[in-house]
Amino acid sequence: MTGTNLRLKLPVACIILEVIIIILFGALVEYDEEVDARKWHQHMKNGTSNYENNFYYRYPSFQDVHVMIFIGFGFLMTFLQRYGFSSVGFNFLIAAFSLQWATLMQGFFHGLHGGKIHIGIESMINADFCTGAVLISFGAVLGKTSPVQLLLMAVIEVTLFSINEYIVLSVLNAKDAGGSMTIHTFGAYFGLMVTRVLYRPNLDKSKHKNCSVYNSDLFAMIGTIYLWMFWPSFNSAVTAHGDDQHRTVMNTYYSLAACTLATYGLSSVVAHDGKLDMVHIQNAALAGGVAVGTAGEMMLTPFGSMIVGFLAGTVSVLGYKFLTPVLESKLKIQDTCGIHNLHGMPGVLGAIVGAITACLASKDVYGDGMEDVFPNIYSEDVTASGQGLRQAISLGVTLGIALLGGLLTGFILKLPIYGAPPDTICFEDSIYWEVPGEEGSHEELACVKTADEEEKMNT
């Protein structure tokens, strides 16, 4: 256990990183004109009302996204029977660091004005989006990494996320308001590559801890419900005011609903005895929000949104049932939370849907609203098929940066200096936390039996 002692490693990592961030904020960051007292009151002298401040349009969405990041993602990962403190606690730590680092990294690429990074409510939302990608990757390595490794992963991933986001949104001029590509696809394949490099051949020694109990699955459903409820805000948070935001909320709303029905139906179909699998319900029911992220602000129609959501739920459940075991046995990818099924495949699906929807865009359908959704098509700088091609290229770029970045990060995290748990005591809170009560009391917890085990007992 001495190798996992963080008495020096974690304080050094936290304090040094925070000091660096504070210095950089002091040197580079300033309020944007809607936050700065002097500049905003100058606007008011010119007839602008306080209620026209972007804060009043964006803050409700920001708060919803914030809840998703800290409660939704945190509790979704509490399904492991002995890893609840770490799931919520490390989520809290990584998110608090990532949103600060993301403000700087995204500012370098998107928000520099005269050498200064201007911050406001939109930069806070975008920093949360970037943090979401890091927490998706966290799901792949959950239970097998130390908080120091997670902080280092966040440093690298936030930086690469910001570079990828700049290329996709600013260089290629792709549209991805809800982040099917930039957040979900990037976070998933980055995390999958990290966990592939960190492969543990003897992880079966901790297999008895890598399962849920009744109460841990119930806690995880809290995360699911929060994410499900607030996902329309996530996808619409930075879209244009008016019809664009309204449409994104509606498309996400119906996609999630259709996805949930598909999830329940498929979960019952693929089980041996027709019983529902809580893993499917906790995760696959959210895939509709992921898959409609790119096309949400487009004229996808409620009908199209429901088809996308239904497909996403189907793909996700089938992934959990059939693909995850193959990834682990053949490709040696130990994906603790199944992020490939919730974020990876639905993210790619969302990117493809976005490319197809862009190809079909016309001024007959969008009218003057084309300027908000596809400004380059509106100005005739690019054709609809050209915009669709840009969307497809953006998916390829995102996958490339995520896979190569995850590979590099994995090798850095593999160095034996970060206090990572040994194979025999993964998925265990007591390595890093003071756990109330006697440690032995954990032994009384019984794993939730799989359908196969129940079948054997009944025969």
Q: Give the tens place of pLDDT for each residue, 404-444.
A: 999 999 999 999 999 999 999 999 999 999 999 754 444 44
48/167 Cα distance (integer angstroms): 34
Q: Give the tens place of pLDDT for each residue, 41-76.
A: 999 999 999 999 999 999 999 999 999 999 999 999
Q: Which tokens in the block code for residue 317?
A: 């459940």
Q: Give the tens place of pLDDT for each residue, 131-148.
A: 999 999 999 999 999 999
Residue 112, strand partner residues: 117
Q: Give the tens place of pLDDT for each residue, 318-374.
A: 999 999 999 999 999 999 999 999 999 999 999 999 999 999 999 999 999 999 999
183/28 Cα distance (integer angstroms): 25
**For the residues 210-236, what does the mean pLDDT come to?**
96
Angle at 334 between CA 329 and CA 337, to 5 degrees: 125
**3-class DSSP state of 30:** strand
Q: For residue 439, which of 212, 202, 209, 207 has the smallest C-alpha distance?
A: 209
Q: For residue 260, which of 221, 310, 324 has the smallest C-alpha distance?
A: 310
Which strands, in side-by-side order, build the sheet including 112-113? 29-31, 116-119, 112-113
169/185 Cα distance (integer angstroms): 15
314/443 Cα distance (integer angstroms): 36
**Quick one: pLDDT at residue 113?**
86
**Is pLDDT larger for residue 103 or for residue 445?**
103
DSSP of 275-302: PPPHHHHHHGGGHHHHHTTTTTTSS-HH
Q: Give the tens place of pLDDT for each residue, 2-17.
A: 578 888 999 999 999 9
> For the domain bounded by 8-37+63-431, which CATH number is listed?
1.10.3430.10
What pTM did the predictor assign? 0.93
Q: Where are the domains of the chain?
A: 8-37+63-431
**3-class DSSP state of 118:** strand
Tell me which residue has tokens 């600060």.
Answer: 100
Q: Give the tens place of pLDDT for each residue, 109-127.
A: 987 888 999 999 999 999 9
- pLDDT bracket for residue 448 (50, 70, 90): low
Q: Give the tens place of pLDDT for each residue, 238-257.
A: 999 999 999 999 999 999 99
> Buried b vs exposed e over 71-88: b needs ≥16 C-beta within 10 Å?
bbbbbbbbbbbbbbbbbb
Angle at 27 between CA 22 and CA 33, to 5 degrees: 100
User: What backbone torsions phi and psi does residue 116 show, to the nearest 5 degrees?
Assistant: -120, 145
Q: Tally Cβ neighbours within 10 Å of residue 242.
A: 10
Q: Give the tens place of pLDDT for each residue, 94-103.
A: 999 999 999 9
Residue 29, strand partner residues: 117
